[in-house]
Structure 1
């Protein structure tokens, strides 16, 4: 019996060691599924591609499944309204014309002019088209809203202009004022004497000229001024006769 209990104890110890060895192994990393939001984002792109291809039935099915997982997914709700709603009410009645350019697509125009690629199916229905849409250059679409403002023209910088050299104004010519002769009493007396002699000889004109010269040479002399005035009166009387 003693041997039996010893064997049973050894067997139990061996099993315990085996279990411990198994439990001490490196655990496998658990795979965490992506969050619902990440799965929803990928689903939105797939649904948009289905609508661009004109497959409404498959798109509705995917939208229903996505909203079941995420009832408040804004992108899924937008795509659902793109199928069921009125595009005129969703995008507004006002619109402007747009001419299709080479390389344009409905999705690209929706992204560029409406600000959201997911509105491509609304834009398709807004223009009365059916997906899939093959745009042609020169084709006219109606874009909801108001046209974007054209870019401001780029003004070329004007070349530096060198101002012309300033021209100094020419000085105005000023006529020199006549310089009065300097006072010369001696010359004035001689001119007065000659003037009175000419006046006594009846040479009135010459007498006036000599007396004027005497007055200019001695302007402060009252006698010369008196003689000049008398000679001028005589000259006026002679001229009158």
Structure 2
């Protein structure tokens, strides 16, 4: 009996020594979490999908963004670019534009609409399907009024100076300037549209208060414009929501 107990004890000791002498087990270091994707990156990715013609994938990503942040102005604008009527978004009036070498839809949207993220609206406005590759000489319609060319000033010939006898000095007459009439700016649809474009750009960039101020000035200059009234109402609603969150 005592011999059996000794054998068991020896076996246990050998097992303990083998365990102590074996390689130590170190828990692997936890994998660092992947850095989160910002909302700006997500909206940029959604815009890229739209310009590639992947409207369904872009709509799904925008839906996910708006579920987390219902008042995200950029995601709201891009979602409207898919569902909204382009003429309601950009206005019914337009003028022709001949594409030049190197033009892109994003570049034209930035140049004429003040925001390159409106490129998909411009694609739909022209009845095209993304992806779009522009070619020199291609005709597009640009929303709004055409820019007015500056008048060319022609140099007038200097009149010949007649040689005459010196005239008698004339009495000095002091001209009395009439009082300036009271200014009344009235309506200015062109300036109103420019302010609307700047206001929408500020709203898309998160400057809600600035957007409200610009759109209010635009409405003062063109009070009968329904698009300006609609954009002002939406901007004021977003501003109220932002203030309520604070």
- Normalising by structure 2, report the TM-score: 0.48
Larger Rg: 1
Determine which structure has greater relative contact order: mean sequence separation of CA pairs < 8 Å that are 6+ residues apart, divided by chain length.
2
